[in-house]
Amino acid sequence: MNRSPEAARELRRAYLFADMADEHMNTLIQGAHDIHLNPGDALFRQGQPAERFFFLRDGLIKLFRLSPEGDEKVIELMRPGETFAEAVMFMGTQGRYPVNAEAVSEARLYAFEQKTFLGLLRESSDACFGLLGSMSRRLHMLVNQIESLTLQNATYRLVAYLLEQIPRDVKTSPEVQLTTPKGVIASRLAIQPETLSRILAKLRQGGLIDVHGNHITVRDVQALRNLVHLPPQD
Amino acid sequence: MNRSPEAARELRRAYLFADMADEHMNTLIQGAHDIHLNPGDALFRQGQPAERFFFLRDGLIKLFRLSPEGDEKVIELMRPGETFAEAVMFMGTQGRYPVNAEAVSEARLYAFEQKTFLGLLRESSDACFGLLGSMSRRLHMLVNQIESLTLQNATYRLVAYLLEQIPRDVKTSPEVQLTTPKGVIASRLAIQPETLSRILAKLRQGGLIDVHGNHITVRDVQALRNLVHLPPQD
DNA sequence: GGGGGCGGTTGACCAAGGTCAATGCCATCG
DNA sequence: CGATGGCATTGACCTTGGTCAACCGCCCCC
């Protein structure tokens, strides 16, 4: 299929591909598969042999672990423009996916063969560096997550999450549209849905935010930032 | 300094160097620095520009974060034969250490210049693959940590830690010598030292273990494994 | 040898957040 | 249109593990 030009432009959004040579991009794109998922569809399961990795074009994917009792912990929420499962290729002994991946909303993805990509990495140190960059970003993110799970309480984590959702350059009372069901956000933050509800109610009563369904108006950004001891804007 | 032969052998223990060409190893070793730390000495602080990464020859190093209130969370415990802080090189904008590093016991290390190593990665895809491998192992470990922090309780985490300390092939009642002060283990497991104490006491009362200072005799491995729903030996 | 300090232990109490159950709120579908 | 089912909210209660304080044992050092 000859979709290279637009597909390439689309893929460049991902750190992994940002600096990759056009020639290599084309090789990858030729071998890519289109995937379409409906809400609730599984993309892969923990423990399956990892033969492909993914670029999310549209929709929302959750990466999660299950406890033996069936409790779910969302490790990461993937949004359009991001790649995932690239790191698994290097886990010796024929890598297996370390988490489950499932569509939260309708989603479109590209899937790439690990083998193709590995071959490409062998020849291109730029491609290697792209991958190293995206892996070290992910490492950093996980360390931050561990810190906030252990050193911070539920309110802190939720407030930090809300603040992350606010676009950079907004000065006025910002509107946050939760693109993710509250239950999934709760799991990502390692709290129960009930607790999430209660914390939102508390913030609402404190006059810090307004809540209408999954639309949140932040009435006092500064107060929120203070709650997580962040310096005044920046 | 001409210490290449022994140093090379020593470094091969680390995944990062296992498959590296001798020639590249030598380049690295020539530029390496010896470091000696006493207990409590800082190796680097979170936020400092990361110009070097490390190989631990001897002793114990803790990597940790501090909350604004001064609480400490140990993210990782480094043991001899392991490398750390290699991943920081790729964090764009002149990387900074994302954690603090401090010696728990007397320690000896080699320090390598990131710049030298980066140059070497440019030329050698094997070196790149070594690094990719060690980063993906670390990613996997962090995901496991997040899972056990959120999906499992304190007893589970401590028992899992104890079981990890038992050498693979032991069939008889295994002896575990804690190489790490209990306070540090507690922080690594994200529990308070008091709680650690209490859980050990509970396991002792249950007849599962014997505790003498930092020497622990596991009286019933199978019962411990059941506690964390692991299958009978393997 | 006595004092001080540090790491660890134990007890009493407390609070954050989990659990369980009832209820509300839509959106979808027959 | 009313019924069904999933998600969210609220309340009552409970559990885990944190906090605070006292104390112990040990090592080190003057």
- Residue-level pLDDT at B192: 97
Please choose, from the candidates A153, A148, A54, the residue with its C-alpha nearest in 3D space to the C-alpha of residue A99.
Answer: A54
CA gap A135, B209 in Å, rounded:
40
- Residue-level pLDDT at A5: 77
Q: Do A147 and B75 touch (CB under 8 A)?
A: yes
DSSP string, chain A: ---HHHHHHHHTTSHHHHT--HHHHHHHHHH-EEEEE-TT-EEE-TTSB--EEEEEEES-EEEEEE-TT--EEEEEEE-TT-EES-GGGGSSSS-B-SSEEEESS-EEEEEEEHHHHHHHHHH-HHHHHHHHHHHHHHHHHHHHHHHHHHHS-HHHHHHHHHHHHS-TT--SS-EEE--S-HHHHHHHTTS-HHHHHHHHHHHHHTTSEEEETTEEEES-HHHHHHHTTPPS--
Using an 8 Å CB-CB cutoff, list chain B residues near A129.
90, 121
- Residue-level pLDDT at B168: 74
CA gap A165, A143 in Å, rounded:
20
pLDDT at A155 > cutoff 50: yes
Mean per-residue pLDDT for A102-125? 93
Using an 8 Å CB-CB cutoff, list chain A residues near B231.
none
| CB proximity A183–strand D (7 Å threshold) | yes
- Residue-level pLDDT at B94: 73
Of the pLDDT bands very low, low, confident and very high (cuts 50, 70, 90), residue A171 is low
Of the pLDDT bands very low, low, confident and very high (cuts 50, 70, 90), residue A234 is very low
Phi-psi region of B148 (alpha: psi -120 to 50; beta: other; left: phi over 0): alpha
- Residue ranges and CATH numbers for the domains of chain B are 4-150 (2.60.120.10), 153-227 (1.10.10.10)
- Residue-level pLDDT at B234: 41
State, as a whole number of angstroms, the distance between the CA of A15 and the C1' of D15.
45
- Residue-level pLDDT at B117: 93
Q: Letter for the amino acid at A105?
A: S
- Residue-level pLDDT at B93: 61
Say which range, A1-10, A115-124, B74-83, has the weakest mean pLDDT: A1-10
Using an 8 Å CB-CB cutoff, list chain B residues near A229.
68
- Residue-level pLDDT at A229: 78
Distance from the Cα of B208 to chain A's closest Cα (Å) equals 23
Low-confidence ranges of chain B (pLDDT < 70): 1-4, 92-93, 169-172, 230-234
| pLDDT (tens digit per residue) in A189-228 | 999 999 999 999 999 999 999 999 999 999 999 899 999 8
- Residue-level pLDDT at A60: 96
State, as a whole number of angstroms, the distance between the CA of B110 and the C1' of D30.
38
State, as a whole number of angstroms, the distance between the CA of B154 and the C1' of C14.
19
Using an 8 Å CB-CB cutoff, list chain B residues near A132.
87, 89-90, 128, 131-132, 135
H-helix or E-strand containing B61? strand B61-66
| CB proximity B38–strand D (7 Å threshold) | no
Mean per-residue pLDDT for A127-142? 94
Using an 8 Å CB-CB cutoff, list chain B residues near A138.
139
| pLDDT (tens digit per residue) in A69-99 | 889 999 999 999 999 999 998 886 678 999 9
Residues in A 51-70 whose C-beta is less than 7 A from nucleic strand D are none
- Residue-level pLDDT at A84: 97
Mean pLDDT score of chain A, rounded to an integer?
91
State, as a whole number of angstroms, the distance between the CA of A116 and the C1' of D28.
63
Listed as ranges, the nucleotides of chain C within 7 A of a protein C-beta are: 7-12, 16-21, 26
| CB proximity B181–strand C (7 Å threshold) | yes
Counting residues of chain A whose pLDDT is more than 90, the rounded percentage is 76
Of the pLDDT bands very low, low, confident and very high (cuts 50, 70, 90), residue A173 is confident
| CB proximity A230–strand D (7 Å threshold) | no
Closest partner CB to A133 (pick from B75, B90, B147): B90
| CB proximity B191–strand D (7 Å threshold) | yes
Closest partner CB to A131 (pick from B68, B132, B149): B132
Closest partner CB to B150 (pick from A137, A140, A190): A190
